[in-house]
């Protein structure tokens, strides 16, 4: 069997962190090996030991501590040998920065020894040139390997040095380990061999290694085989996790679309029922007004006749009374004979009847079912994947809907409907199912069908609506923690006003909005080259003069100054129009978003994929690339007043997403989900709670995201009079100002959930 990994080289072992203790991160001292084969310093293990047990810091395996303590753990002679080699290369007696000869002091030379130029690999001594020459000529050392010291220090002779230097006995310094005691499995030197292991069978180290190496290699081959299986299992687990995430994302989109379909249908039914209610009330009021007019006329005639008769009887003379008696009597008889009041008009009082399912806490319009994922068979990814997909599709076609994998299920299961829950299901082209109530039968408490409309003693008129689609684009449902209405900010219409003034030559084209003073806004009218000031009630306050020929695009108000972009320039002007400074911007971008920092003393502008921040003097304070991607193109920018760190939100047209970044440009949140309907995100605003309001011009919507960038749902739609919204801004943290393409401005008060 081929080995799982190639054999490591000595250079790799010496240059890597193999000789470092994973506890103290220093070079190993007195290395001890645990049964899990991880090696640490003896002192580090002593500090790590917890009573009679110790837990490996790397593999978390718990092993018992020998009764003699951590010193009884096996000494790692392999690591010791490598450490000796490292120490021999790096250490030695030094004189004036050079290694000294180890033999000169022994033969009567200088006490410090001469400068070493060679090394004996067998004796592990540094030698001067004279001692090296003599070392090669003596009877006892002529077979020793003497090499150049520079090459030795460079690592050229590491392998040969390890072969020639034997491991030293820890009990008998200076004695090399030469034997293996077979019964004790202990390495012995000559001194150890003569004392307690004299009667034990022992083998030389080379012979013992030859005998035991095949067994270790066989075990190693088995572990390599297990590693291959583990890698395959890990790969399968990752693929399963990827499929799970993919399916979860798909089902999440289905949930959002289905919930949005139900919400849209419910809103449509709400509008239909309210329309019917208004029509009924208007018709009833018209009939009541006609009856009241008739009653008032009759009452006036009767009062006039009675007043005339009473005046004649009280003031007339006998002859006058008798002369008028016939006419008065005839008129009074006529009035008495006519009905004083018409019969009671039929008054149909509207009553709202909710479907029992809406009040049932156990009614779930959306349900999840889970199917065990079948493991893929070996035989190629493509073939196995195709086969698995066909089998899964076949199972889904044969199984009932409630057993589909990760599918969104209605409450009533197909084929299991009862007369108590009889409903008609209609499927739209986008695949989202809507439920239409059967108008012929209504669920009754006793489980039987209830008569429709007619036959009621109190003749209550029932208003019912159909569930139908009113929008061509689905939107994701509310967030998971917002289970209905009342938990999201709600819009309350405040006012609406036009921005075209008598001096305007063209229809306004609003490209920028910003707060400007207390309860006032500044409007950038690019078409008429003006910065107009309005109150939130629509009162015109005048203009802020701009340089001649400038068409303001994006605008922001700072402390006693106004910043705006026009063409490829950034301007800072005073409220009376005096230009304080101007800066040139990139020509590669059609428009540049401008935003004031919460401190009010700096202005930020998006320029060709990055953001530049200028101070009041016009100096560049900082420059960063949002998320480190130069491919981003921010077309709208707003800073969070709730974040002292300078977090900001931007609409990225390049990535079709909404990004939330910190003051350094690092992305901390991003949304590019189906809630954008494939549209390019438009203007963004943030309220005092940190909720983000995003304009989607193509679908006539303003959607709301939480402070982390998760879509929560729709805030404004066509129901609120939106028609191609362009730019928004937030005033005082609670008034959302929306400009439309026709130059009209709508103002909505943002009602927080806790107000």
What's the CATH number where 526 sits?
2.120.10.30
Is residue 235 scored above 80 in pLDDT?
yes
Question: Is the domain of 602 the same as that of 744?
Answer: yes
Look at residues 69, 90, 111 and tell me which one is the last residue of a structural domain: 90
Look at residues 332, 367, 391 and tell me which one is the last residue of a structural domain: 332
What digits encode the pLDDT tens for the residues 92-114? 434 445 778 888 877 765 566 67
What digits encode the pLDDT tens for the residues 296-336? 888 888 899 899 999 989 988 888 888 988 998 988 888 88
Q: Residue 604: what are its φ and ψ, rounded to 5°?
A: -110, 145
Is residue 166 scored above 80 in pLDDT?
no
User: What is the reported pLDDT for 704?
Assistant: 93
**Global confidence as pTM:** 0.41
DSSP string, 617-680: TS-EEEEE-GGG-TT--EEEEEE-TT-TT--EEEEETTTTEEEEE-TTS-EEEEE-SGGGTTPP
Is residue 169 scored above 90 in pLDDT?
no
Look at residue 181 and give its three-state secondary structure.
strand
Q: Tell me what percent of the chain is helix, strand and coil, each rounded to the nearest 5.
A: 30, 25, 45
Nearest residue to 142 via CA among 132, 152, 156: 132
What digits encode the pLDDT tens for the residues 438-456? 333 333 333 343 433 333 3
The answer to which of 426-430, 597-601, 679-683 has the lowest mean pLDDT is 426-430
Question: Is the domain of 221 the same as that of 86?
Answer: no
pLDDT above 90: percentage of residues in the chain: 19
163 secondary structure, DSSP code = H
pLDDT above 70: percentage of residues in the chain: 75
Look at residue 190 and give its three-state secondary structure.
helix
Mean pLDDT of the chain: 77
Residue 294 included in any domain: yes
> Residue 65's domain spans which residues?
12-90
Question: Is the domain of 76 the same as that of 221?
Answer: no
Residue 115 included in any domain: no
Residue 86 included in any domain: yes
Torsion of CA 629, 634, 640, 646, to 10 degrees: 40
For residues 630 and 610, the answer to whether their CB atoms sit within 8 Å is yes
Residue 398 included in any domain: no
Residue 485 exposure: Cα atoms within 13 Å on the Cβ side: 8
Question: Is the domain of 530 the same as that of 665?
Answer: yes
Query: Structurally, how many domains does the chain consist of?
Result: 3
Residue 417 included in any domain: no
Section 704-708 average pLDDT: 89
Spatial separation of the C-alpha atoms in residues 421 and 447, rounded to whole Å: 9
């Amino acid at each position: 069997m081929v080995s799982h990994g190639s054999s490591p080289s000595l250079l790799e072992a010496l240059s890597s962190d193999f000789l470092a203790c994973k506890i103290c991160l220093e070079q190993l001292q007195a290395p001890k090996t645990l049964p899990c084969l991880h090696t640490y310093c003896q002192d580090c293990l002593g500090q790590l030991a917890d009573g009679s047990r110790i837990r490996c810091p790397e593999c978390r395996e718990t092993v018992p501590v020998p009764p003699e303590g951590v010193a009884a753990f096996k000494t790692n002679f392999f690591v010791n040998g490598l450490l000796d080699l490292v120490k021999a290369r790096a250490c030695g007696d030094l004189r004036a920065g050079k290694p000294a000869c180890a033999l000169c002091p022994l033969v009567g030379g200088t006490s410090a020894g001469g400068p070493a130029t060679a090394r004996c690999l067998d004796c592990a001594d540094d030698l001067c040139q004279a001692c090296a020459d003599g070392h090669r000529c003596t009877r006892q050392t002529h077979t020793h390997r003497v090499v150049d010291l520079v090459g030795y220090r460079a690592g050229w002779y590491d392998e040969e040095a390890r072969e020639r230097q034997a491991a030293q006995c820890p009990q008998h310094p200076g004695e090399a380990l030469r034997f293996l005691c077979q019964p004790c499995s202990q390495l012995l030197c000559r001194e150890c061999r003569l004392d307690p292991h004299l009667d034990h069978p022992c083998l030389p180290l080379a012979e013992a290694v030859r005998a035991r190496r095949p067994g270790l290699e066989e075990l190693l081959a088995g572990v390599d085989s297990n590693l291959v299986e583990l890698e395959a299992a890990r790969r399968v687990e990752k693929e399963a996790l990827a499929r799970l995430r993919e399916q979860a994302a798909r089902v999440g989109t289905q949930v959002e679309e289905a919930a949005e379909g139900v919400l849209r249908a419910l809103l449509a039914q709400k509008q239909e029922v309210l329309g019917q209610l208004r029509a009924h009330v208007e018709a009833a009021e018209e009939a009541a007004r006609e009856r009241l007019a008739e009653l008032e006329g009759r009452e006036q005639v009767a009062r006039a006749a009675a007043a005339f008769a009473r005046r004649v009887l009280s003031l007339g003379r006998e002859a006058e009374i008798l002369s008028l008696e016939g006419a008065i009597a005839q008129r009074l008889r006529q009035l008495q004979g006519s009905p004083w009041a018409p019969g009671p008009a039929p008054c149909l009082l509207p009553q709202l009847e909710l479907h029992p399912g809406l009040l049932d806490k156990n009614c779930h319009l959306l349900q999840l079912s889970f199917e065990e994922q079948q493991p893929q068979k070996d035989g190629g990814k493509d073939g196995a994947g195709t086969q698995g997909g066909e089998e899964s599709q076949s199972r889904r076609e044969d199984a009932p809907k409630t057993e589909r994998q990760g599918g969104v299920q209605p409450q009533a299961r197909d084929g299991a409907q009862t007369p108590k829950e009889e409903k008609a299901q209609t499927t739209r082209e986008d695949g989202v199912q809507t439920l239409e109530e059967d108008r012929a039968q209504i669920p009754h408490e006793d489980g039987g069908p209830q008569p429709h409309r007619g036959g009621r003693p109190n003749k209550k008129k029932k208003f019912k609506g159909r569930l139908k689609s009113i929008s061509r684009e689905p939107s994701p449902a509310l967030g998971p923690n917002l289970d209905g209405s009342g938990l999201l900010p709600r819009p309350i219409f405040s006012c609406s006003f036009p921005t075209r003034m008598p001096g305007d030559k063209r229809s306004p084209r609003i490209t920028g909005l910003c707060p400007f003073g207390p309860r006032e806004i500044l409007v950038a009218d690019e078409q008429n080259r003006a910065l107009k000031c309005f109150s939130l009630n629509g009162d015109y306050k005048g203009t802020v003069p701009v340089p001649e020929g400038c068409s303001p695009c994006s605008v922001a108000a700072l402390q006693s100054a106004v910043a705006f972009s026009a063409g490829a320039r950034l301007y800072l002007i005073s409220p009376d129009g005096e230009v304080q400074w101007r800066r040139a911007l990139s020509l590669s971008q059609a428009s540049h978003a401008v935003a004031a920092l919460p401190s009010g003393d700096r202005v930020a502008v998006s320029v060709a994929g990055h953001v530049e921040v200028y101070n009041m003097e016009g100096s560049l304070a900082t420059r960063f690339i949002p998320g480190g991607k130069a491919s981003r193109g921010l077309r709208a920018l707003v800073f969070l007043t709730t974040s002292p760190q300078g977090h900001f939100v931007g609409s990225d047209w390049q990535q079709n997403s909404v990004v939330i970044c910190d003051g350094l440009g690092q992305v901390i949140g991003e949304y590019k989900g189906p809630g954008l309907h494939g549209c390019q995100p438009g203007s963004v605003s943030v309220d005092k709670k940190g909720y983000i309001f995003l304009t989607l011009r193509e679908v006539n919507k303003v959607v709301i995201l939480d402070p982390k960038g998760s879509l929560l749902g729709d805030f404004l739609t066509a129901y609120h009079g939106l028609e191609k919204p362009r730019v928004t801004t937030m005033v005082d943290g609670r008034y959302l100002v929306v400009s439309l393409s026709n130059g009209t401005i709508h103002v909505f008060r943002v009602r927080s959930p806790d107000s």
